[in-house]
Amino acid sequence: MVSYNIRSLRDDRTALARVLRACDPDLVCVKESPRFWFPRPQAGWLARSTDLYVLSGGPSASGPLLLGRLRALPLSVHDVLLPRTPGLHQRGFATTVLRLGRAAPFSLTSCHLSLNADERYQQCRMLLEHLDRVRAAGAVQHVVGGDFNEHPGDAGWELLEERLRDGWATAPWGSEYTSVPGRPYQRLDAVFASPGVRVLASGVPDRLAGVRPADLVAATDHLPVVAVLRLPPG
Spatial contact of 67 and 30, defined as CB atoms under 8 Å apart = yes
**pLDDT at residue 208 greater than cutoff 90:** no
Torsion of CA 27, 31, 34, 40, to 10 degrees: 30
**Rounded (5°) CA angle 113-145-133:** 80
pLDDT in tens, 28-57: 999 999 988 888 999 999 999 999 999 999
Q: Report the alpha-carbon distance of residue 103 to residue 4 in Å, rounded.
A: 24
Q: Helix (H, G, I), strand (E, B), or coil: what is residue 34? A: coil
Phi then psi for residue 95, to 5 deg, are: -135, 130
pLDDT of 39 reads 86
In the chain, the amino acid numbered 184 is P
**pLDDT at residue 133 greater than cutoff 90:** yes
Bond from prior residue into 180 cis (ω within 30 degrees of 0): yes
pTM over 0.85: yes
Average pLDDT, the chain: 96
Q: What is the mean pLDDT of residues 146-152?
A: 98
Report the percentage of the chain scoring pLDDT > 90.
Answer: 91
pLDDT of 132 reads 97
Q: Report the alpha-carbon distance of residue 105 to residue 115 in Å, rounded.
A: 32
pLDDT of 209 reads 81
pLDDT in tens, 173-191: 999 999 999 999 999 999 9
pLDDT of 64 reads 98
For residue 211, how far is the Cα from the chain centroid?
19
Q: Report the alpha-carbon distance of residue 224 to residue 4 in Å, rounded.
A: 5
**pLDDT at residue 141 greater than cutoff 90:** yes
Specify whether the backbone of 206 is left (phi greater than 0), alpha (psi in -120 to 50) or beta: alpha
Q: Report the alpha-carbon distance of residue 103 to residue 119 in Å, rounded.
A: 35
CATH 3.60.10.10 holds for 2-230: yes
Distances (CA, A) of 218 to 43, 44, 48, 100, 142: 19, 21, 20, 32, 31
